[in-house]
Structure 1
Amino acid sequence: MMREAPSLSSRMLVAIAAWRAPVVAFVSVLGVAGCTSGSDQASPPAQAASGPSALSVNLVRPRSEQWPRQLKSTGQIVAWQEVVISPETGGLRLKELKVDIGAKVRRGQVLALLADDSLRVDHRKQEAAVLQARISLEQAASDLRRSRLAEGSGALSAQKIEEYRLTAASAEASLESARAELQSIELKLAQTRVLAPDDGIVSSKSGVLGSVVSAGAELFRLVRQGRVEWRPEIDSGQLALLSPNQTARITLPSGQTVTGRLRVVGPTMSSSTGRATLYVELSPDSLARAGMFATGVLLAGTQPATTLPLSALVMRDGRSYVYTVDSGGQAHAIAVATGRREGDRIEVVSGMDAAAQVVASGGAFLSEGSKVTVLAGPAVAASGAAR
């Protein structure tokens, strides 16, 4: 089969393509030469050669400040003093419980009542016994007076007169005994009203209505004056930094923070742990409750701190990073160790040079080698000024 000869139009297209190739190559050479010649006068920004900017950022320098020295510890929150409420008399039925758990009580308030019917009967009987003893004493005293009037006449022997005297003395002793017994019954009657020995909050109630209680059996427990304390333990090496009335910040299990005052440092060290117990007083109206386990810090003086804004910190894979920018506009991640936190600033303990300039915010959108545009402004100078 014979092949068809190419048409005129096809031959023309091939010729045009062959002519354009050297022209394009020549123009490209001229362009490169022009760029090379221009570089001797002004270099273009490095970021333009490497690609577009990922973010516009401000840079800040670390700030040197004096921050409170914080001693971290953990411990339980307990009642400042716990009061056990018990009846002072026994063998009586628990007639009434007047308060419940959580009630705020005042000193002298009636918390419980014991049945006093039997004691009232005994009281009346003893009143009669006192009256009888008083009559017996009066009779004995009258006999003694008469015997002394007749003492010189010889109508009564000395032995009989001495007998009257001893009888009067015995009657007087019987009257005193009867009065004492009456006072004892009256005291028991008063003790059927179980009173609060001080202001406080009822933390437990173990009395059972209708039960016959014995003297000393626990009915209630009070958190005295509603005061609670945080009692952490601390190493012996840190004791020199502590003194009474220093401030403590305690974080409750709910995440809320309460403020306390160091009341006293334990005078002895634990023989098993080698640590001392601290007694930190908390406000009665705080959200802390006895039995909570809390963490906190004690503010013990001040010490220098190198700080950055919190916004400069980036958390990745459980580690803290900041970003610096080199002269070519590229961002570089630096791992740092952080410490204390105050407001919107955080302490950088290690990993960063004190003169470094780091990205103030937006680091979470950067990665190693990202191109950034540094904004001109007072951020660097302002952040470097001491507060």
Structure 2
Amino acid sequence: MTETNPHIGDVSRDKRPTAIKGLIFMLILVVVCVGLVLAATRLRSEEGPKIAKAAPIPMTVQVAPVELVTAFTLNEAYSGLAEARRNSALGFSTGGRIESIAVDVGDRVQRGSILASLDTRGLRAQLASANAVVEEARAAHSLAMSTVERQRKLKMQGHVSQQAVDEAEAQADTALARVEAAKAQADIYRVQIDLSRITAPFDGVVTSRMADEGTIAGAGQPVLDLVEAGHLEARIGLPANSAARLTPGETYDLKTDVGTVEAILRSVTGVIDPAQRTVAAVFEIENKGQVASGTVVRLTMQRDIDEPGFWVPVKSLSTASRGLWSIYVAEPSGSGWKVATRPVEMVHTDGDRAFVRGAVEEGERVITDGLQRIVPGLPVEPRDVHRAAAVNGG
């Protein structure tokens, strides 16, 4: 049998951790941590707090100096359409088969030109019959007049009574009436033949053709559209106070996409349109060949506004409260510049610039761009955009 050593169990029992050993380990750990904290505190006290000694670099911004004015001139533009004075939809007064159409879209025609015609063979046959009736009536009237002459001679000789003469004269009057009736019937057919043709009522341009040869056209059915080419007029709506400054008979310049044309003011209606709240001014365009019907024309008028203020770019404005706006200016600060705000009120906008008024002095530098990058108090380096443009141009 193997003997067990009694000292082995004692050794293994001594290596187990005890409460005293754990306490000693915790005390050592606390001492080490306190030492590290004291060392870090001493080192920080020796170096001192971290303080930024270099000033931030000022941001370069573009500025424009304020130029105060006591009034400004406003250019007002009003639009209208240049249209033909007359525009007719032409058709036949009676129905029938279209025999010919002599024009097409875009053709220029003169007044009285035959543009289209119907088949008039039936009407011409009726006219020939009516002319024969006229000749027959004339022959009967001639015979009746001869009878009247003979009866008058016999009356003078005493061979017939006055009643016979009166009867002959009545028959002659009846024959004459038949002649006039036959002539009127013939004239009806002549008028129908004339109305079977479409003639140009004025000089113009054919803008539409709605039928071709062989079509059965109804009475009053439009076949051609004719627009007057010799006269154009423009109707432009203006506010009543602006229309009052126009003088009928004077010449004004109207701007179009193809240039400027001269127009004579024919009249001002003087009646305010309830829908548009404007007064219509009618202009006659003189150089008609340069402008096509339907062209947009614009009348520009100047109006003096007695309002103090100054012009700034629209992009230099930022919204503020109570309907006001704000601008940023570069104001002196020590040896440099910093950003400051100024509240302003917008008076008028004109394209990419605005006329404003506010507590701004002459010559102050308004920051014109990059507003999203700046805040009040930020150091900046102003750059005059007007001066830079002059230097670059020179």
For the superposition of Structure 1 and Structure 2, which TM-score range results when normalised by the shorter chain? 0.5 to 0.7
How many residues are aligned here? 322
Q: Secondary structure at the match of 2:369?
A: helix
Letter in 2 for 1:355: E
Q: Is 1:339 aligned with 2:348?
A: yes
Q: Summarize deviations over 1:133-175 as a string: whole Å, max 9, x none.
A: 2222222222211221221212223222222211222222222
CA distance in 2, matches of 1:220, 1:92: 16
Secondary structure of the 1:371 match is strand
What secondary structure sits across from 1:337 in the alignment? strand
Q: Contact 1:322 / 1:336 at 8 angstroms: preserved in 2?
A: no
Q: Is 1:372 the counterpart of 2:382 in the alignment?
A: yes
Q: Which moved more, 1:107-116 or 1:240-249?
A: 240-249
Q: What SS does the aligned partner of 1:326 have?
A: strand
Distance 1:74 1:203 in 2: 24
1:51 aligns to what?
Answer: 57
**Which structure 2 residues correspond to residues 110-149 of structure 1 after superposition, within 5 A?**
110-149=114-153
- Relative to structure 1, is the Cα distance of residues 67 and 58 closer, same or farther in structure 2, using a 3 angstrom cutoff? closer
Is contact 1:265-1:278 (8 Å) kept? yes
C-alpha RMSD of matched pairs (Å): 4.8
CA separation in 2, counterparts of 1:246 and 1:352? 44
Q: Deviations over 1:34-68 (max 9, x none)?
A: xxxxxxxxxxxxxx965356267664625566524
Confirm whether residue 183 of structure 1 aligns to residue 187 of structure 2.
yes
Report SS of the residue matched to 1:156.
Answer: coil
Cα distance in 2, alignment partners of residues 118 and 352 from structure 1: 90
Instruction: Indicate whether 1:363 and 2:368 are aligned.
Output: yes
- Provide the residue aligned with 1:315 in structure 2: 315
The answer as to whether partners of 1:314 and 1:364 remain within 8 angstroms in 2 is: no
Deviates more, 1:146-155 or 1:219-228: 219-228
Q: 1:214 to 1:55 in 2, by over 3 A?
A: closer
Aligned to 2:158: 154
1:170 — aligned with what? 174
State the Cα distance separating 1:90 from its structure 2 match: 0.8
**TM-score, length-scaled by structure 2:** 0.61
Q: Distance in 1 between matches of 2:136 and 2:79?
A: 69
Counterpart of 1:106?
Answer: 110
Deviations 1:267-309 (A, max 9, x none): 4445x6483451444745566754x8x7966626443477878
Percent identity for Structure 1 against Structure 2:
22
Equivalent residue for 1:384?
none
Query: In the TM superposition, what is the alpha-carbon distance from 1:331 to its structure 2 partner?
Result: 5.5
Contact 2:314 2:353 in 1 (8 A): no
Q: Secondary structure, in 3 states, of the residue corresponding to 1:99?
A: coil
Q: Is the 8 A contact 2:317 2:327 kept in 1?
A: no
Higher gyration radius (CA): 2
The one-letter code sitting in structure 1 at the alignment partner of 2:120 is: D
Structure 1 unmatched ranges of 5 or more: 1-31, 33-47, 381-387
Aligned equivalent of 2:89: 84
Distance 1:64 1:278, change over 3 A: same
Q: In 1, Cα distance between the equivalents of 2:340 and 2:137?
A: 104
**Cα contact 1:53–1:373 (8 A) shared by 2:** no
How big is the shift at 1:355? Answer: 2.6
Q: Secondary structure at the match of 1:51?
A: coil
Which of residues 51, 67, 70 is equivalent to 1:61? 67
Matched, 1:217 2:245: no
Deviations along 1:334-372, one digit per CA (max 9) or x if unpaired, are: 677373549xx955144574734446xx93357534312
Q: Structure 2: how far apart are the matches of 1:305 and 1:100? A: 58
Equivalent AA in structure 1 for residue 280 of structure 2? L
Cα deviation, 1:72-105, whole Å, max 9, x if unaligned, reads 6677776544333232x41322223333445443
CA contact (8 A) 1:325 1:332 kept: yes
Any conservation in 2 of the 1:337–1:349 contact (CA below 8 Å)?
Answer: yes
2:307 & 2:348 partners in 1: Cα distance? 9
Normalised by the size of structure 1, how large is the TM-score? 0.62
CA contact (8 A) 2:238 2:281 kept: no
**Do the aligned partners of residues 160 and 274 (structure 1) sit closer, same or farther apart at CA in structure 2, a change above 3 Å counting?**
same
Q: What is the distance in 2 between the residues matched to 1:94 and 1:164?
A: 50
Give the residue type in structure 2 aligned to 1:117.
R
Choose from 298, 301, 313 the match for 1:299: 301
